[in-house]
Amino acid sequence: TGQGNLLYGRPVSLPPFLLFAAAYFPPPLHLPFAVLCSQFQYIVLEKKGTKQNVGVIQLNRPKALNALCDGLMNEMNQALDSLERDPHVGAIVITGSERAFAGEYDGSHSQLSVHEHKGWLVTIATWGLASVNLLLWLGGGCELAMMCDIIYAGEKAQFGQPEILLGTIPGAGGTQRLTRAVGKSRAMEMVLTGERLSAQEAKEAGLVSKIYPVENLLEEAISCGEKIAENSKLVVAMAKEAVNAAFEMTLTEGTKMEKRLFHATFATDDRKEGMTAFVEKRKANFTDH
């Protein structure tokens, strides 16, 4: 998974999946934000929030119901890289359209195999802080959503892994992340039948955090992103690393890691600022150090 190669959310050595991705996608060009945004064909990249500290990536293939393809994933790679490097961005929202968040992989717009693309998608998990769905997440789109840290869903959203109906199985972590989110029995039923979960069913199963009317969904996701971005990016990365570790470690291993990260925060300026601000009854001014 590459999880063991991360320190406070940052890679300390290049994980295998990043080596794999580099073989197929050129390094992102570090262009000015406005120039980069103007070059995208399959996504729309913006900064939102009162402080412009929430990056928003909107998938933009409406005629194909935002089906994943080479071009879209390559552009998302560049967008995520740009947002990750931006010191003012503390959260990322990935969204789609009213008709679809993201559909299954579109082989008609690809020169690579499905498996090659799915390996690259795993890298998104290190960046996405909030993911928004409007109506439909199926197949690769559902897997993309599960790579994010928080999922907000529209009232009419549906989640599913229909690959079995196409004579294949999920290939971007769907069998693994879905099982961890909803349990073996429910995941097995979805993967073996291709049946979908409604937004309410997904929330009850633990796959979705909150449900909102479609017209309020993006606004609520950005609001959540702003709350996250107000905190220390350094400490947020530690917290995220600790929570993600719970999926791969035993309870004993996980609590030991949590304790190490907890004590590590005491060496940061932001922890000192946070405690001082609490005592002085004021808002903390974090510097990400």
* 225 lies in the same domain as 250: no
d(CA 10, CA 12): 6
Model confidence pLDDT, tens digit, residues 153-206: 988 888 999 999 999 999 888 999 999 999 999 999 999 999 999 999 999 999
| Nearest Cα to Cα of residue 92 among 63, 156, 49 | 49
Task: Name the pTM for this structure.
Answer: 0.76
Instruction: Express each pLDDT in 83-108 by its tens digit.
Output: 888 889 999 998 876 655 655 555 54
Whether residue 168 lies inside any domain: the answer is yes
CA distances from 98 to 66, 95, 155, 217, 225 (A): 11, 10, 11, 10, 20
CB 93 within 8 A of CB 151: no
- The H or E element that residue 258 is part of is helix 251-265
What domain count does the chain have? 2
Q: Is residue 57 part of a domain?
A: yes
In a shared domain, residues 140 and 10: yes
The verdict on 188 and 238 lying in the same domain is no
CATH code assigned at 256: 1.10.12
- CA angle 23–25–28, rounded 5-degree value: 125
Residue 25 falls within a domain, yes or no? yes
Question: Rounded to whole angstroms, what are the CA distances from 129 to 63, 193, 197?
Answer: 27, 30, 23
- Tell me, what CATH number does 214's domain have? 3.90.226.10
Residue 287 in domain: no
